[in-house]
Amino acid sequence: MFRILLACSVPILWGSTYSVVNLFLSDLSPFWVAVWRALPAGLLLLLLKPGKPPLSWTKMFQLSTLNIALFFPLLFIAAYRLPGSVAGTLGATLPLQLMFIQWLFEGKRPDPKLLLLALVGLAGIVLILNPSADIDPYGAMAALVATAMVARASLLLKKWPVSDIFRLTAWQLTLGGFMLIPIALFFAGAPKMVNTTHLPGILWICVVNSAFAYWAFAKSIKALGPNVMSMVSMLNPVAAVILGVSLVGESLGTLQWLGIGMVALSLVLMKFASTPKKKKSDGLMTVSKAR
């Protein structure tokens, strides 16, 4: 039971990112918030388990660029510009994007059932972003592009399987965190002084959402396997929606709720409809998913 609860805590914590930003970090730059989340957490994980990267430096830099240096700023731009429920749902479209990327660039045709479910999810996205909803287009684009970065990293991990997920995550956060510093300086200038109002949010996204959640993620992958973790990952958008409505007071229209429901339904059914080969791919995808 403890292992299941630990596994379920991971996507719930990652789904809380959007509400934490709105509650505590709304006046800070998303680029520096990305630094505060990545670098201290990566260094802490390396202290807990020091050692060399599990992949070559070239491969580590590629994964760190996609999963951290590009993903984190885009994630926080989406968190600052969108309701958490919308950002969380768009971020959960990873299986859909992965399928289309493989189809477009690798010529791998998806199973017809999975393709149908992907189209249902795409229709849900259209409803979420309908013109009458007044959704920030830059935030929506940031959420979708951020997810595409993770999808690309997932395809790379298919070619570079690695067994030490914990150390892989620690090095990705550390290298990505250092790469984020010049990016933050260029786009946001010097960091704003963090005060006691910001401190709960900084501690949450760094210590809880990154250091603890990534440790729990690595431990759960080894204890329960990637297929179980890919299923419980659906708690991520659920948590984002519930926390956004209950804590931040977000209000969504009927079409947006319908769109969120369609995306969630397509993802749940996709998990059950996946073939064994697809499940293996999903497992690698889950390993690289950094929320």
Other C-beta atoms closer than 10 Å to the C-beta of 260 total: 25
User: 268, 233 in Cβ contact below 8 A?
Assistant: no
Phi-psi category of 249—alpha, beta or left, where left has phi over 0 and alpha has psi -120 to 50? left
Q: How many domains does the chain have?
A: 1
Q: Any idea which of 65-79, 97-111, 208-222 has the lowest mean pLDDT?
A: 97-111
| 116: its two tokens | 């149908």
Range of the domain at 43: 2-288
Phi-psi map region of 198: left, alpha, beta (phi>0 left; psi -120 to 50 alpha): alpha
Q: Nearest CA to 66 among 182, 154, 160, 7?
A: 154
C-alpha closest to that of 126 among 81, 91, 90: 90
In the predicted structure, residue 267 carries a pLDDT above the cut 60: yes
The answer on pLDDT for 204 being more than 90 is yes
Q: What is the pTM of this model?
A: 0.83
